[in-house]
Amino acid sequence: MSAQSVNTTTAGRVRAMPADLQGDLSNRARVERAMQSFALEYGSLTAFRLESCIHCGICADACHYYIATEDPQYTPILKVEPFKQAYKRESGPYAVFFKLFGLKRRVSADELENWQHLLYDSCNMCGRCSLICPMGINISELIEQTRHAMFDAGLAPAELYAKAKHQQHSGQPEASKEPYRDMLLAIGRQYKVEIPMDKDQAEVMLCVPRTDIEHYPKSVAALARVMQHLGVSCTFRSDGLVAENYGYYAGGREWQRKISMRLINEALACHAKTLIVPECGHAYTALRWEAAELYGKPLPFRVRHVTEYLAGQLQTGRLKLRKAGNGAVTFHDPCQLVRKGGVMDAPRQLMQALGLDLHELENNKAFSFCCGGGGGVLDIQRAAPLRYRAMESKLREVDDSGAQTFLTSCSDCRATFDDAKAHFNWEQTPHSLLELVADNLG
């Protein structure tokens, strides 16, 4: 692996490119929109988190952006400074004194524009900082709340905004040569497996990552093949195919709701008892932990990651696997699954059933480092130099494991590692755990 040069200043900082702007708003209007959005986020839990920070800086040691650069601007809690500044000045218990003595300035348009780099380009919302905070502050959730205000102020990265806008309108993050429904059916013909589509009644509803449809079609076929092997009544739905939620990435709360509602409505339409999230980490967070809040009531079906579901089938004896015999194997834990969902044992149970010789990474399970592409960062072109720099330690961990096979259970992680493979001329190739399961059905 040979690292490429990174665009830095003489002080060693990665340069932040000019901020992307949406809408023809004045600076004053942008600030007003951000402040209104901040106010909607203030509640007892948020206030507790903002008041609890003791400025110890320990969260920096958990962040791969800080570790890679040793630049204090990448300290995770600093990334929510505009949110914290507005809270202290406008809503905190001592707000009157902060205003009277000028202890907290008004949030400015320049600050918001400068913070776009910190909130989007240099944060995967991976939650490792939240895990290590001695005060128990969920920093990644504060960053998500701050992204809401940035979106409302017209300050989301152009790539995330465009894909979120397209997805909330059409169901797809971007235009394709043919509808995803037709692409799925073509994948079924290519891999000689039935793709169940638009059934009126099904026990399980399936969805797929856009990344798999466009780049990893074998994973789509693997999902269908495993479900067929289990004899489960299941279906894909034409109007609810895409697992990813770019509204979540961009910070557009209403767009996130619309995108989630597509999947919820389709699951209701086919009377599904379970909605399976495929190998996609952020889709799991958006559907398993946030969709019910946006829906306004508990979901009338279960949401499970595919590895959770298959591990359950393994335990009941319905799923039997042959020994794969792939030699030494290592595994990357997707952040949204392990830290936000606790899905750590399920993939390891599948690997154990496959008879794999698992060589754990130095930082694994809940302490695993992010691939570097999460939170929409992989889609932000200007973020690439910093992303490559931050993920070098992860690539070294994989190399140091001594494994011949490198697995993961998230398509976006897989795409990020494939991108690193091309950039660094890296020798490892990421593989899908789901595909390995499908290749070794008993």
Write out pLDDT tens, residues 49-106.
999 999 999 999 999 999 999 999 999 999 999 999 998 888 888 777 777 777 778 8
CB atoms within 10 A of CB 199: 17
Query: Do the domains at 27-156 and 320-439 have one common CATH topology?
Result: no
Distances (CA, A) of 197 to 172, 202, 224, 290: 17, 10, 11, 26
pLDDT for residue 4: 34
Q: In the chain, what are the domain boundaries?
A: 27-156, 159-315, 320-439
Residue stretches of the chain with pLDDT short of 70: 1-16
The gap between the terminal CA atoms of the chain, to the nearest Å, is 38
Task: Return the bridge partners of 204, or none.
Answer: 234, 274
For the domain covering 320-439, report its CATH number: 3.40.50
Burial class (CB in 10 A: 0-12, 13-18, 19+), 386: buried
Fold assignment, 27-156? Fumarate Reductase Iron-sulfur Protein; Chain B, domain 2 (1.10.1060)
Q: In three state form, how does the secondary structure of the chain look?
A: CCCCCCCECCCCCECCCCCCCCCCCCHHHHHHHHHHHHHHHCCHHHHHHHHHCCCCCHHHHHCHHHHHHCCHHHCHHHHHHHHHHHHHHHCCCCHHHHHHCCCCCCCCHHHHHHHHHHHHHCCCCCCHHHHHCCCCCCHHHHHHHHHHHHHHCCCCCHHHHHHHHHHHHHCCCCCCCCCHHHHHHHHHHHHCCCCCECCCCCCEEECECHHHHHHCHHHHHHHHHHHHHHCCCEEECCCCCECCCHHHHHCCHHHHHHHHHHHHHHHHHCCCCEEEECCCHHHHHHHHHHHHHHHCCCCCCEEEEHHHHHHHHHHHCCCCECCCCCCEEEEECCHHHHCCCCCCHHHHHHHHHCCCEECCCCCCHHHCCCCCCHHHHHHCHHHHHHHHHHHHHHHHHHHHCCCCEEEECCHHHHHHHHHHHHHHCCCCCEEEHHHHHHHCEC
Residue 278 CB partners (closer than 8 Å, separation 6+): 206, 207, 208, 209, 212, 219, 223, 243, 306, 411, 434
CA distances from 406 to 227, 328, 388, 409 (A): 24, 9, 19, 11
Question: Are the C-beta atoms of residues 90 and 160 closer than 8 Å to each other?
Answer: no
Which pLDDT tens digit goes with each residue over 20-59? Answer: 999 999 999 999 999 999 999 999 999 999 999 999 999 9
CA distances (Å), origin 236, targets 124, 214, 230: 29, 17, 16
Residues 6+ apart with CB under 8 A from 314: 321, 349, 350, 353
The residue among 410, 435, 421, 417 whose CA lies nearest residue 334 is 410
pTM of the model: 0.92
Burial of 210 (0-12, 13-18, 19+ CB in 10 A): buried
**Predicted local confidence at residue 3, as pLDDT:** 34
Q: What are phi and psi of 197, to 5 degrees?
A: -130, 130
> What does the pLDDT read at residue 16?
60
pLDDT computed for residue 5 by the predictor? 32
Instruction: Give the whole-angstrom CA distance, residue 5 versus residue 329.
Output: 31
pLDDT of residue 128: 96
Residue type, 92: G
Q: Rg of the chain over CA atoms, in angstroms?
A: 22
The pLDDT score that the predictor gives to residue 158 is: 98
